[in-house]
Structure 1
Amino acid sequence: MSTRPTDAITDFSQFQGMRRGARSGDEATIRKAAQQFEALLTQQLFKNMRAGSLGDDVMGGGQTGFYQDLFDQQMSVHLSSGKGLGLADMLVRQLRGSSAAQPGDSAATTLEAAAASGSHHAFALQSQANDVSGASATAGSAGKTPEAFVQAILPHAERAARELGVPARVLVAQAALETGWGKHAIKDADGKSSFNFFGIKSDRRWQGDAVSTTTTEFVDGEEQRQQADFRSYDSAGEAFDNYVDFLKSNPRYAQALNHGGSASHFVQGLQNAGYATDPAYADKIMKIANGPTMQLALASGRRSYAV
């Protein structure tokens, strides 16, 4: 393991540079701060694993724990400086103020949505679900939890899912991924929700309203910030209806619609057709769809409108 001097846990001068960069909003500083935060969580993971071990062997001395702790701290910094667990990437997006579709961003969804990328592990997304907000059932006002988001869109998701022949939870998961459980839903200049739950862009085929915003796209495997126009709807129901029409009227999504009842084939078909530029798009949707946050939110949502 090669460690650059600036990555050493004993080098405290790095924090002075981070403090200066933070004042100016420097991009590199934002990423460094996010990596430091991920390193702290990784260190805690190591600590918990050590605590669950059988203890020191017979050769262990009184200083073993001290040096093990130093080693774990250095390993945490080293791991987070590369691809890491995926949490740093999501924190960077959040700190940059991205209003485009992102995975949920509070504490329990980070294990389900960032865990989705091939280089992101499941525990990373667990840190993102408890505080996410979503569109409420009335006029696009924000809710406080994934449950509120699901309650607002579930009837529309179930109707659209029947037309597409897929489980409703898959459409809810896609909407959660695109909007961060509603927290990053695209809004117009007046702060009104566009109800664009699926990140569908506006082009010459679209005759309705549109909203321009900054989004994150993957180009040659690298994230890039771009300005783009997105479709705007008057209601959640209209958004889901248009999503169904969008897929059915576009030949490129024929493979996705020919899923044979398989949710994973459906989302993989979307990815193969270029629905999103994120190379882990399908995996992320399925992670959210099968995660505990989704299960609890669905149960709560179904109880709410069944009463």
Structure 2
Amino acid sequence: MKPTDPGFVNDLANLDRLRAGIKGKGDTESLRAAAEQFEALFTQMLFKSMRQANEAFESDLMSSSNTKFFEEMRDEQMSSELSARGSLGLADLIVEQLSALEQPPATPEEQAKAAQEKAAGFEAIQQSRQVSADDVLAKVFAAKDTTAIDTAAKDKIASAPEQAAIPAASATTPADLVRSPLRQPQEKPFSSPEDFVTRMRPFAEKAAGMLGTDPAVLIAQAALETGWGKKVVKNAAGDSNNLFNIKADPRWAGNKVATQTLEYHDGIPVQERAAFRSYNSYEDSFNDYVRFLNDNPRYSEALASPQDPRRFIRNLHQAGYATDPKYADKIINVMESVKKLMK
């Protein structure tokens, strides 16, 4: 990366040139210049704090107002030069984060292609790590009859979900089964609220049966949390399949996905970064939702009267499930739409 010329830190014309050079959204050069200015100010504050910390050890013989003045000028110039050279890396981080915000969201096709490329790369790594395991397995199969194992493998493949199915045209050997990595199934995007309700209904009915409530309220809650399945928590590693936005607290030992979330503090929305639980499928998300409610004593009142879905979700909200002050009312409104789609 080519460093920019920091110039003289007290040259006010630099600020005018920065303002004049901003062309608008997507102007990477102006973004970098502004990020370097911010990093320089931050570095200058660090120098100033360190100077102040050393004042207790200074003497009148070695310190004067003129000395402090020139030290401040030197610190300001040094902070500007360090920022321009990228010594601290703060400006690079700012440019990376803000540039990512300007990128348009990936289409479902692009997401699917990226997922396939990541899976192919992971498989290549796994193949290099499984050489010794393949050798051991080959010796075992050379000494024993593999008919029973092949039959079990074929039965397992036939009963696997469609997303993880192996094409019939490819020959699958026991060694291939060991070499192939475990992949997290990629759920198909939702095309409409009707599609969301249809696909979530069997999972919701199972979970509602265990909780003793109406499946419509569970689908409505999942719809509100995920925008009808279009805003499921995700990061660069992929989707979390987390339909109820359950956070990954210290008790959670499974996979996690960290991302920005909107929380309400005293009714004021605040953006925060949090870690959420990650599942292999939407069905796993519903199952963990049931476990989560049953394992937390604070939701006991909601579970004590689940027959009335409106009362159930209001008690859940009052117990602290969400910080949005209108959370229960929003779910009840969505539930009416869900019931119409379930008919």
CA offsets 1:75-96 (integer angstroms, 9 cap, x no match):
xxxxxxxxxxxxxxxxxxxx99
Classify 1:251/1:96 alpha carbon distance in 2 versus 1 (closer, same or farther; 3 Å).
Answer: farther
Structure 1 residue 155, shift from structure 2 partner? 0.5
Once residues 269 and 297 of structure 2 are traced to their aligned partners in structure 1, the CA distance between those partners, rounded to angstroms, is 28
CA offsets 1:87-127 (integer angstroms, 9 cap, x no match):
xxxxxxxx999x9xxxxxxxxxxxxxxxxxxxxxxxxxxxx
The yes-or-no answer on 1:152 pairing with 2:199 is yes
Counterpart code for 2:293? L
Provide the aligned length of Structure 1 versus Structure 2.
Answer: 170
The equivalent of 2:295 in structure 1 is 249
Once residues 209 and 305 of structure 2 are traced to their aligned partners in structure 1, the CA distance between those partners, rounded to angstroms, is 13
Counterpart code for 1:297? L
CA offsets 1:45-87 (integer angstroms, 9 cap, x no match):
xxxxxxxxxxxxxxxxxxxxxxxxxxxxxxxxxxxxxxxxxxx
Moved more, 148-157 or 169-178: 148-157
Structure 1 residue 24, shift from structure 2 partner? 5.6
More helix by share: 2
CA offsets 1:131-188 (integer angstroms, 9 cap, x no match):
xxxxxx9731212101111222110100000111111000000000000000101123
CA offsets 1:168-212 (integer angstroms, 9 cap, x no match):
00000000000000010112313x321100010001110100000
Classify 1:163/1:96 alpha carbon distance in 2 versus 1 (closer, same or farther; 3 Å).
Answer: farther
Task: Give the conservation status (yes or no) of the 8 Å contact 1:160–1:244.
Answer: yes
**Structure 2 counterpart of 1:282, from 328, 331, 335:** 328
The equivalent of 1:298 in structure 2 is 342
Task: Give the conservation status (yes or no) of the 8 Å contact 1:173–1:289.
Answer: yes
Once residues 178 and 140 of structure 1 are traced to their aligned partners in structure 2, the CA distance between those partners, rounded to angstroms, is 17
- RMSD over equivalenced CA pairs, Å: 2.7
Once residues 342 and 230 of structure 2 are traced to their aligned partners in structure 1, the CA distance between those partners, rounded to angstroms, is 18
Structure 2 counterpart SS, 1:217: strand
CA offsets 1:245-292 (integer angstroms, 9 cap, x no match):
00001000011111251111110111111100001111111000013x
Once residues 227 and 269 of structure 1 are traced to their aligned partners in structure 2, the CA distance between those partners, rounded to angstroms, is 26
The equivalent of 1:171 in structure 2 is 218
Please report the TM-score for the alignment, with normalisation by the length of structure 1. 0.51
Structure 1 counterpart SS, 2:187: coil
Greater relative contact order (Cα < 8 A, sep 6+): 1
**Structure 1 counterpart of 2:236, from 172, 185, 189:** 189
The equivalent of 1:219 in structure 2 is 265
The equivalent of 1:130 in structure 2 is none
Please report the TM-score for the alignment, with normalisation by the length of structure 2. 0.46
Once residues 211 and 102 of structure 2 are traced to their aligned partners in structure 1, the CA distance between those partners, rounded to angstroms, is 35
Structure 1 counterpart SS, 2:191: coil
CA offsets 1:216-262 (integer angstroms, 9 cap, x no match):
01111111000000000001111111000000010000111112511
Classify 1:253/1:231 alpha carbon distance in 2 versus 1 (closer, same or farther; 3 Å).
Answer: same
Gaps of 5+ in 2: 1-23, 27-100, 106-162, 164-184
Once residues 197 and 245 of structure 1 are traced to their aligned partners in structure 2, the CA distance between those partners, rounded to angstroms, is 14
Q: How does 1:90-129 map to 2 (within 5 A)?
A: none
Task: Give the conservation status (yes or no) of the 8 Å contact 2:254–2:277.
Answer: yes
Task: Give the conservation status (yes or no) of the 8 Å contact 1:176–1:182.
Answer: yes
The equivalent of 1:143 in structure 2 is 190
Which of 1 and 2 has greater Rg?
2
Counterpart code for 2:239? S
Question: In percent, how many aligned pairs have the same letter?
Answer: 44
Counterpart code for 1:141? K
> Deviating runs (4+, > 6 A) in structure 1?
none
Once residues 193 and 186 of structure 2 are traced to their aligned partners in structure 1, the CA distance between those partners, rounded to angstroms, is 17
Once residues 235 and 310 of structure 2 are traced to their aligned partners in structure 1, the CA distance between those partners, rounded to angstroms, is 33
Counterpart code for 2:246? I
Structure 2 counterpart SS, 1:290: helix
The yes-or-no answer on 1:271 pairing with 2:271 is no
Task: Give the conservation status (yes or no) of the 8 Å contact 1:147–1:296.
Answer: no
The equivalent of 2:18 in structure 1 is none
